[in-house]
Structure formats: structure tokens, C-alpha cells
């Protein structure tokens, strides 16, 4: 692992009206591994994820991606810079097939524009072939070949999660933010998810993981505990579980 941070949050603060939800949140995500963020419901995890990924602008603080400031950068710019994010509820295109969903992971990286697509120019046709071939390879790799032509909206939650992860991998992200990816999954599906997370990390994708599943969080090298909008502890999962403040706040003593 490269200890140089790929993502830096410095004194990030946010409030909705008079309700302060984040207070001086600072931590770094080292490149090339898996980091985690835990906290009870209402601790500010989703707000922090929305800020890190560009869906929300912070009221205070700074965010840097590979040393470059992105505090006010839009989502699309962060995607082009290599940041991809998933959501608590799987976000698949329900009317599209599994293969089409996976292919959408390359959308932000395509060079052909809207009018080229409308006109079906040679460049757009080449782009479409490239996307289809790359998507087929990812579909096969993630074990989705048997359902490649199934509409994604017809799949159970576990398979939708894998489709979402395959689509994210399609974008070749340098940083992947996973928001409660094990939510609604069975034990076996969580184990499969864990394997894929570890595989992606071993291939060089840096991952920031939010989950209530303590077993899944064991894949993290470093975990940050958030409570009432503040980081109260950072360290290995073993360190976090042994921390009295974390146990009182999150793990139930």
C-alpha cells in the first residue's frame, strides 16, 4: 500500500439549518487499500459521504483528491478524476439489462458526445463496440453471464449489489466509495461481497467503506468512528472495538 493519501478531508463541517451534523471532521484515506467509516444512525456518515462524493457542498473545510482541491467540484468532475460512489439502496437502471447496466460504468469515460451518438458517427460506433466488449468481459468476470439479458430491476437485492459493483469496476475507479453495500444481503451474499471488495483492492482500487456489518469491516486496514458529527477514534478494527468511547457510542458497551 502507498501511504500517500488519495483522499483528504480537512476540518469538514456541515449543518442543515441550525442542526450541526458534522464538526471539524478530518482524516486521510491512504491510496491502495481499504479504509472504513462507522457510526450509529444519525452520526453523519451519509452526509459525509455525500460531501466527499460531490452530492453536497460542505459549509466549512476542504477536500482533496490526490492532492488536488475538489471541495466545490461537481460529481461529474470527480468521476472523471477517478472517484466512483455507490449508495445504500442499489442504484440500477431497472429497465435496462444487466449487461447494459454494466456498460453504463464507462459512460463518463466515453469520448463521443451527445450529437455524435444521435448521428451514429463512426467514432460513436467504435465507442459503442468498445463499451460492449469491455462490459461483456466484466459481466463474465463477476459471474453475471447467466443473467446478462435480465432486466436489472427484476433482480433481488443481492444480485443488484453485484451488478452495481461490476458497473463501478467498469469505470476503473482509483477511489471507490461504498455506502452500506451489505444492507439487505444474506450472510452468503455478504461473504461474496467481501471477496469482491478484497479483489478490487488487491488490483489497486482504493476503497472507503461505510457499513454497520462489523464482520465486513474487518477488511479495513484503518477505521474511523464518527459520533454526533465528530471523529472520536481511528485505528484498526481491533483498536476500534476495544475503544471504550466507541463501545459506548456505537457497539453498545
CATH number of residue 16's parent domain: 3.40.50.300
Quote the domain boundaries for residue 245: 5-92+158-164+176-251
- The pLDDT tens digits for 179-235 are 999 888 888 888 988 998 999 999 899 999 998 888 899 999 999 999 999 999 999
Cell 470527480 locates to: 78
Given a cut of 90, whether residue 80 has pLDDT beyond it is no
Check residue 29 and give its pLDDT.
96
Do 123 and 237 belong to one domain?
Answer: no
Asked whether residue 213 falls in the same domain as residue 234, the answer is yes
- Identify whether 170 is part of a domain: no
Q: How many domains does the chain have?
A: 2
Is position 44 within any domain?
A: yes
Question: Does 240 map to a domain?
Answer: yes
**Higher-confidence residue: 214 or 178?**
178
Is residue 33's pLDDT more than 60?
yes
Whether residue 169 is contained in a domain is answered as no
* pTM for the model: 0.86
User: Do residues 150 and 132 both lie within one domain?
Assistant: yes
81 and 102 fall within a common domain: no
Same structural domain, 84 and 180: yes
Please check whether residue 171 lies inside any domain of the structure: no
User: What was the pLDDT predicted at 253?
Assistant: 45
For residue range 52-65, list pLDDT tens digits in order. Answer: 999 999 999 999 99
> Both 148 and 56 in a single domain?
no
Based on the fold, state whether residues 108 and 232 are members of the same structural domain.
Answer: no
- Same domain for 85 and 104? no
Q: What are the pLDDT digits (tens) for 94-120?
A: 999 999 899 888 765 554 444 455 556
Q: Is residue 83 part of a domain?
A: yes
How far is residue 79's CA from residue 83's CA, in Å, rounded to a whole number? 5
What are the tens digits of pLDDT across the range 124-161? 777 777 777 888 999 998 999 999 999 999 998 888 98
- Grid coordinates belonging to 72: 466545490
The pLDDT of residue 232: 94
Amino acid at each position: 500500500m502507498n501511504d500517500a493519501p488519495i483522499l483528504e478531508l480537512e476540518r469538514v463541517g456541515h449543518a442543515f439549518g441550525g442542526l450541526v451534523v458534522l464538526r471539524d471532521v478530518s482524516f486521510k484515506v491512504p491510496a491502495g487499500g481499504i479504509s472504513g467509516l462507522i457510526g450509529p444512525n444519525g452520526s453523519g456518515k451519509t452526509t459525509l459521504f455525500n460531501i466527499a462524493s460531490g452530492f453536497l457542498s460542505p459549509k466549512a473545510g476542504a477536500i482533496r483528491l490526490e492532492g488536488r482541491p475538489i471541495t466545490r467540484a461537481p460529481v461529474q468532475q470527480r468521476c472523471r478524476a477517478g472517484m466512483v460512489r455507490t449508495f445504500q439502496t442499489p442504484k440500477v437502471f431497472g429497465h435496462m439489462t444487466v449487461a447494459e447496466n454494466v456498460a453504463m460504468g464507462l459512460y463518463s469515460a466515453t469520448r463521443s458526445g451527445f450529437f455524435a451518438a444521435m448521428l451514429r458517427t463512426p467514432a460513436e460506433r467504435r465507442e459503442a463496440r468498445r463499451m460492449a466488449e469491455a462490459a461483456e468481459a466484466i459481466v463474465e468476470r463477476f459471474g453475471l453471464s447467466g443473467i446478462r439479458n435480465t432486466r436489472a430491476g427484476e433482480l433481488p437485492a443481492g444480485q443488484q449489489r453485484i451488478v452495481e459493483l461490476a458497473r463501478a469496476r467498469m469505470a476503473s475507479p482509483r477511489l471507490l466509495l461504498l455506502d452500506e453495500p451489505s444492507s439487505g444481503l444474506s450472510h452468503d451474499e455478504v461473504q461474496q461481497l467481501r471477496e469482491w471488495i478484497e479483489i478490487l483492492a488487491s488490483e489497486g482500487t482504493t476503497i472507503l467503506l461505510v457499513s454497520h456489518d462489523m464482520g465486513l469491516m474487518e477488511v479495513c486496514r484503518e477505521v474511523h468512528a464518527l459520533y454526533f458529527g465528530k471523529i472520536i477514534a481511528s485505528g484498526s478494527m481491533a483498536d476500534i472495538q476495544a475503544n471504550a468511547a466507541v463501545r459506548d457510542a456505537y457497539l453498545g458497551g
